[in-house]
Amino acid sequence: MIEVAGVEREFAKNGRRIVALQDIDMTVGEGEFVALLGPSGCGKSTLLNMVAGFDHPTRGAVRVAGESIREPSPERGVVFQEPALFPWLSVMQNVVFGPKTRGERAEAYGLRALQILEQVGLRGFEDSYPAELSGGMRQRVGIARVLMLESKVMLMDEPFGALDAQTRSLMQELLLSVWERHQQTVLFVTHDIEEALLLADRVCVMTARPGRIKKSIDVRLARPRALEITASPEFNALRLDVLALIREESQRAASQAA
């Protein structure tokens, strides 16, 4: 479904070239949930932005369903780190922004919007404005408006990174239940090991600058998953594996810096 082949991304900063991503090869199968895990500054958001169409590779190709990506499209819904809601629109207006802007008729999406708001636990808040909502509720609107697009691919850029620990767990469970229902292909960027293992079928661990994919780890934990799984021995074993990889990586980065 998502295909990243030989991708490199360079930035020019103060006349110097910085290689943010190098030799990235990865695929995400249809209906697969893949987490990109890495330290901040490893280029994982850059990679996600290229799949979204906000950014373009310096070398190599990013394809979705066989087609090269040129620009953003409702085929690839994005949930941002900040909810990025339109503050002048109500919850309902934010959620139906996509279909409405593309000229769909209200009868076609009105009922679906209510169902999706129900799924993300926002019924009764249709007329509220983003400023009246908590951080977790705002991010639910961010997820709901992407579900409205009915895109095959959902891209999530540390969507729960700014939330407190308790809200984050609630949102992870919510995402699991929503994903089990909609079965989209998901690329999920995070720096939280437990979050990656809890949600994903596969975790791609990235290295720090230049960003590369160090290892891809299959997460063979039964679905449907719930938060309790994080206390299981299998989960713990996976966590230690990933932790060892990341520690190796951060030591390498530290020795380079010194």
Contact with other proteins (CB under 8 A): which of 3, 32, 58, 73?
Answer: 73
* Residue 205 engages other proteins in binding (rule: CB under 8 A): no
- Least separation in angstroms between CB 122 and other proteins: 17
Q: Minimum distance between the CB of residue 87 and other proteins, rounded to whole angstroms?
A: 5
Q: Which two tokens stand for residue 73?
A: 């499209």
Least separation in angstroms between residue 151's CB and other proteins is 9
Binding to other proteins (CB under 8 A) within 212-241 occurs at: none
Say if CB 31 and CB 2 are below 8 A apart: no
Query: Taking the CB of residue 13, how many other CB atoms lie within 10 A of it?
Result: 9
Amino acid at 200: A
Report, in Å, the least distance between residue 86 CB and other proteins.
6
- Scan residues 146-175 and list those touching other proteins (CB under 8 A): 149
| Alpha helices per DSSP H over the chain | 44-52, 91-95, 97-101, 106-119, 135-148, 165-182, 193-199, 233-257
For residues 132 and 248, which CB has a smaller minimum distance to other proteins in the complex?
Answer: 132
As measured in angstroms, the least distance from the Cβ of 245 to other proteins is 31
Which residues make Cβ contacts (< 8 Å) with residue 40, sequence separation at least 6? 191
Quickly list H helices, 96-232: 97-101, 106-119, 135-148, 165-182, 193-199
Which residues within the stretch 117-136 sit at the binding site for other proteins (CB under 8 A)? 129, 131-132
**84 interacts with other proteins by CB under 8 A:** yes
Q: Which listed residue (10, 11, 26, 54) binds other proteins by CB under 8 A?
A: 54
Which runs of consecutive H residues, i.e. helices, occur in 37-128?
Answer: 44-52, 91-95, 97-101, 106-119
Give yes or no for residue 87 binding other proteins (CB under 8 A). yes
- Distance between CA 6 and CA 219 in Å, rounded? 25
Residue with Cβ nearer other proteins (26 or 84): 84
Q: Please, which residue, 80 or 235, has the CB nearer to other proteins?
A: 80
Q: Does 80 bind other proteins (CB under 8 A)?
A: yes
CB of residue 102 to other proteins, shortest distance in Å: 5
Nearest to 80, CA basis, from 170, 148, 141: 141
Q: At what angle do helices 106-119 and 165-182 cross, to 10 degrees?
A: 130
Q: How far is the CB of 139 from other proteins (least distance, A)?
A: 13
Hey, what amino acid is at 16? R
Residue ranges in contact with other proteins by CB under 8 A = 52-54, 71-74, 76-78, 80, 82, 84-88, 97-98, 101-102, 129, 131-132, 145, 149
